[in-house]
Amino acid sequence: MIANSAAALARTAPRSEPRPEHRPEQKVERYRNLLSQTPVFRGAAPAALDDLARRVQVRTRPATSVLAAQDEPGDAMFVLVSGRAKVVLFGESGRELLLRALEPGDVFGELALIDDLPRSANVVAVDDVTLLALDRAGLRAHLAVHPQTALHLLAELAARLRQADETIADIALFDVEARLARTLERLATDGGESAPEGMLLARRPTQQELANMVGSCRETISRTFTSLVRRGLLVQRGRALVITHELLRRSGRRAPIAAL
């Protein structure tokens, strides 16, 4: 897994790296393996992966660091190798709207390299993170030789557009309870597993995190969450959470049948 290679990468990453044409082959192979495990580049040709691996730079940042700031020029795109991060917008009152949770293997920052406009959102490290960074010149030089990579980036942008459409529809068409149920289902689909009662989310987000995802306030989420638990639609198991079949049905989604 990509996260398993991150510790060794962080330990051996130098403060400044040699130019791509002088980079040691062992390091190029390590970067290539990391890139090949990311969803965006998983289907890339070996030659394209080799070229990317020679162009990326390693960066490490501590938790709470701003990895990309809204409205600032974007000079690089990033692959998250280890740790977690979040894509957020901040209101004037300091309220946070969570647009996307980032896990190892996720890519961010490429939009500003494509349209040459400022960053559209903030990216903040939740944990200590290790990143692979590819600057604008490196990306354009790569695409000149390997244009097929552009299709992988387009597929990633298309997936995010679909997710944005779904988020807009949720806010416009559903009340807080339905939005909370749909958000929990998405989290369970991305990082949970099927269970006889529905879907199991191993790590339950805090109520503030859920409020940021749903686009509501913590107090409203707290009341809604408590109501769902009381009615048996959510089942708490320590830090885990079961989203029942009935709640999934009400939110317009179905859980996969669990293997018994």
Q: How far apart are CA 48 and CA 151, in angstroms?
A: 13
How do the pLDDT tens digits run along the chain, 260 residues long?
555 555 545 444 434 454 554 556 777 888 899 899 888 898 899 999 999 999 999 999 999 999 999 999 999 999 999 999 999 998 877 788 888 889 999 999 998 988 889 999 999 999 999 999 999 999 999 999 999 999 999 998 898 888 888 878 887 888 899 889 888 888 887 777 888 888 888 888 889 889 988 888 899 999 999 999 999 999 998 888 999 988 888 776 544 444 33
Q: Are 233 and 244 in contact (CB under 8 A)?
A: yes
Average model confidence (pLDDT) for the chain?
A: 84
Report the run of H or E that residue 36 belongs to, with start and end: helix 25-36
Torsion angle, alpha carbons of 101, 106, 111, 112, to 10? 90
- Say if residue 150 is in the same domain as residue 184: no
Residue 141 structure tokens: 């030089």
Q: How far apart are CA 191 and CA 126, in angstroms?
A: 17
Expressed as residue numbers, the domain containing 231 is 174-250
Query: What are the residue ranges of helices labelled H in 104-256?
Result: 110-115, 136-145, 148-173, 176-191, 207-214, 218-230, 245-250
Q: How far apart are CA 194 and CA 201, in angstroms?
A: 9
User: Residue 205: which CATH number?
Assistant: 1.10.10.10
Query: 238 in the Ramachandran plot: left (φ > 0), alpha (ψ -120 to 50) or beta?
Result: left
Total of domains in the chain: 2
What pLDDT does residue 24 have? 64
Helix orientation angle between 176-191 and 218-230, rounded to the nearest 10 degrees: 80
Instruction: Please write the tens of the pLDDT for every residue from 79-114.
Output: 999 999 999 998 877 788 888 889 999 999 998 988
31 located within any domain: yes
Counting Cβ atoms within 10 Å, is residue 168 exposed (0-12), middle (13-18) or buried (19+)?
exposed
User: Residue 164: which CATH number?
Assistant: 2.60.120.10
Last residue of a domain, one of 128, 146, 169: 169
CA 57 to centroid of chain Cα atoms: 20
- Say if residue 79 is in the same domain as residue 164: yes
Full-prediction pTM beyond 0.85?
no
